[in-house]
Homo-oligomer: A and B are copies of this chain.
Amino acid sequence: MHICYVVAMRAEARPFVEAYGLSKVDGFFVPLPCILYDGMAGDCRLSVVLNGEQHGTDLVGCEAASVATMAAIERLHPDMVVNSGTCGAFKAQGASIAEVFVGNGAMFHDRRVPGDDGFATQSLGNYAVWDGSRALAERLGLKMGKVTTGSSLDMQPCDLAVIQQHGGQLKDMEGAAVAFVCSLFHTPLLLVKSVTDLCDDGAATFEEFTKNLSAASQSLNEANQRIINRLSAL
């Protein structure tokens, strides 16, 4: 079993890379900026692929996630991709800071193409996740939610309208892009998201995100270790 995590931010990946003593493999993705950490978790091969950096910051967003996922699948051929990261969620739905969810699907909330034909359907996305996601979440006592992805950190009225109309619950900046690429390669995808900010509590997203990133990354790390224990037993 070879599990490959695709992760945007170093802060999200670091506790996890350290917990498993993964080694950085220099130059693996050249000329791409993606970074590979590789090692074992029990009998499981475990890879962590980061998008890389640009302008001194972690590359975030959907294009970088598309590239990293495609590079990871083409060069590592994992049995499963896990997109692990932080997200916004809704207090009204019972979410709390640093709570970890497993995704039950992924959609885009900022690709507005009108019409009832295929263009609107493909733009919304609605990609499936690994069919074992629900059993895993139940076994570990984690809630599930629909990941909704956009390229911006803020929440515009046009984004919120799409999220509400289509049942989005976990707002992130990569999930649906990773899911799109995984769907093209028929690679099973597990989504694991930890809450940094509540979209409906009136606080500023950026400040909340910054304040809670460390706590959310820590709970994400704990959840991921439990997830890998389960997956490696499959």
Could you tell me which A residues sit within 8 Å of B by CB distance? 31-33, 54-57, 59-64, 66-67, 70-71, 74, 108, 110-115, 117-119, 121-123, 151-154, 156, 158, 177, 180-181, 184-186, 206
A5 smallest CB distance to B (angstroms): 19
| Closest partner residue, chain B, to A52 (CB atom) | B184
| Closest partner residue, chain B, to A111 (CB atom) | B151
Residues of B with C-beta under 8 A to A181: 63, 67
Residues of B with C-beta under 8 A to A206: 114-115
CB < 8 Å neighbour of A110 from B66, B71, B123, B152 = B152
Question: Is B63 a contact partner of A180 (Cβ separation < 8 A)?
Answer: yes
Question: Is A31 a contact partner of B184 (Cβ separation < 8 A)?
Answer: yes
Extra contacts besides A62-B151, A63-B66, A70-B71 (10): CB < 8 Å: A33-B184, A54-B122, A55-B119, A56-B118, A57-B118, A61-B113, A108-B151, A114-B154, A114-B206, A158-B158
Residues of B with C-beta under 8 A to A185: 31-32
Question: Is B57 a contact partner of A117 (Cβ separation < 8 A)?
Answer: yes
Residues of B with C-beta under 8 A to A114: 153-154, 206
| Closest partner residue, chain B, to A117 (CB atom) | B57
Question: Is B70 a contact partner of A152 (Cβ separation < 8 A)?
Answer: no
Provided the pairs A67-B181, A67-B184, A185-B31 are in contact, do residues A112 and B57 lie with their beta carbons within 8 angstroms?
A: no
Question: Is B118 a contact partner of A54 (Cβ separation < 8 A)?
Answer: yes
**CB-defined A-B contacts under 8 Å, sample of 14:** A31-B184, A31-B185, A32-B185, A54-B118, A55-B119, A56-B118, A62-B66, A63-B63, A63-B66, A66-B67, A108-B151, A112-B153, A114-B206, A158-B158
CB < 8 Å neighbour of A152 from B32, B112, B121, B186 = B112
A36 smallest CB distance to B (angstroms): 16
| Closest partner residue, chain B, to A181 (CB atom) | B67
Provided the pairs A55-B118, A114-B153, A122-B54 are in contact, do residues A62 and B60 lie with their beta carbons within 8 angstroms?
A: no
Question: Is A55 a contact partner of B122 (Cβ separation < 8 A)?
Answer: yes
Residues of B with C-beta under 8 A to A59: 122
